[in-house]
Amino acid sequence: MAVQQSAGPDPYFPDNGDARYRVHRYELALDYRPGPNRLAGTARINAIAGRAALAEFQLNLADFRIGRLRVDGRQPHWTHRGGRLRIKPAKAIRAGAAFTVEVHWSGNPKPVNSPWGGIGWEELADGALVASQPTGAPSWYPCNDRPADKASYQISVTTPSAYAVVAGGRLLTRTTRASTTTWVYEQSAPTSSYLVGLAIGTFQTVLLGDPGPGGVPQHGHIPARLLPEFSRDFARQPAMMELFQELFGPYPFDEYAVAVTEEELDVPVEAQGLSLFGANHVDGARGSERLVAHELAHQWFGNCVSVADWRHIWLNEGFAKYAEWLWSERSGGRSAQQLAATAHQLLATLPQDLRLADPGRRSLFDDRVYERGGLTVHAVRCALGDEAFFRMLRDWVRLHRSGTVTTASFAEHVARFTDAPTAGLFEAWVYGAKLPPLPVPGIAP
């Protein structure tokens, strides 16, 4: 399906991204030295102009030194300030035309500032980690940093041979020359810039279960000392994969990997085809199993089906939260109804001034987005009944595979699976701020 594009700048991050064109493919060649934290890169960006000619356009890139820069092989005029690389081609690009940008950059990568602290490229004690949600991608490569602009990627990383490189996608080649190794990954599925994940460290790689014919290859990349705990904590991930494929439809990518760092992370982070966990999420007692389910579910909700802009983040987090409840329900834990009641009880104690459909930039990662998002999905399930609800979910993923969606498009989609009116449900749960009563199966909202 063709990727849908939102019409203008992201209202929460108007300085990020450029809606006047879209990127088809990124080819990144990186050389990273962990000791001095030195990154040198070359990007080849294949893009297509929108409905108007492009006399100038912008990419997002943090404070690196820019070397060579070309548009269709010619040197443009450019400026680089405040994380924005403004480019004026030697000749305007006509409407609808394909064009290529080549950028060489180098420097010491570091997180970019955000209302949630530094995000993006993070230097670790022994390696590096990329966690870019929502606007950290420019911390390490030039990009059109808007979630609606999804492109394929080839990523080549050269680093000292003592280190392994893990990225979302399929490992094409691994080539060692002298003291360095080059890892080349291909992510053919359209990917939002913030979902391009990367981990560099000393990992041991294990296969999680036997995918069998037609199955999904799943690998874990972990520090050797954590292998015993990891083997227990992630033992049920293959069963999660089977369940989510039953409930949501086929896994949307070629492979799935999880990487665990030696450092602690506040929360795990999803990337396309890859999830990143901290050492604190591995305890040998399945203490973070709900998060294993949450990150896996994002491969369908958030990664395959992505938000058109950040106002709609509940469509990522609400579904991933509800997937936690579905896994609990199907694996012998508490039912979704019981977990919904707990979430409802929590929300009743918190301020009721957040609207899911537009929570505001500073509330993007508020716990209420997650909990109320999960409750909203549960309310839809209660209204439709299980058969129609899960059919609706599978159809949602199928119809919008590799595309972008909004709250309004989800409401319209749900309405097709019932004869009963659903506008009131969305008005109360998504557009209103006051917490509605706890949804109960079989009782109209």
Domain architecture of the chain: domains with CATH: 1-202 (2.60.40.1730), 215-304 (3.30.2010.30), 307-431 (1.10.390.10)
pLDDT at residue 3 in the model: 40
- Asked if 10 contacts 17 with a C-beta cutoff of 8 angstroms, the reply is yes
Q: What pLDDT is recorded for position 9?
A: 82
Q: Is 317 annotated as a binding residue?
A: yes
Amino acid at 395: D
Query: Which is catalytic among the residues 186, 270, 289, 295?
Result: 295
Residues 129 and 382: their CA atoms lie apart, in Å, by 40
pLDDT tens per residue, the chain (445 residues)?
334 445 678 899 999 999 999 999 999 999 999 999 999 999 999 999 999 999 999 999 999 999 999 999 999 999 999 999 999 999 999 999 999 999 999 999 999 999 889 999 999 999 999 999 999 999 999 999 999 999 999 999 999 999 999 999 999 999 999 999 999 999 999 999 999 999 999 999 999 988 888 899 999 999 999 999 999 999 999 999 999 999 999 999 999 999 999 999 999 999 999 999 999 999 999 999 999 999 999 999 999 999 999 999 999 999 999 999 999 999 999 999 999 999 999 999 999 999 999 999 999 999 999 999 999 999 999 999 999 999 999 999 999 999 999 999 999 999 999 999 999 999 999 999 999 999 998 765 5
Q: Is 295 a known active-site residue?
A: yes
* Active-site annotation holds for 370: yes
Q: What is the pLDDT of residue 444?
A: 55
pLDDT of amino acid 5? 44
The answer to whether 312 is a known ligand-binding residue is no
> Can you tell me the distance from the alpha carbon of 210 to that of 359, in angstroms, rounded to the nearest whole number?
42
Residue 307 CB burial class (10 angstroms; 0-12, 13-18, ≥19) = buried
**Was 229 annotated as part of a binding site?**
no
Q: For residues 295 and 205, what is the distance between their CA atoms, to the nearest angstrom?
A: 19
Residue 129: left (phi > 0), alpha (psi -120 to 50), or beta?
Answer: beta
**Catalytic residue selected from 186, 194, 370, 371:** 370
pLDDT for residue 297: 98
* Res 445: pLDDT: 54
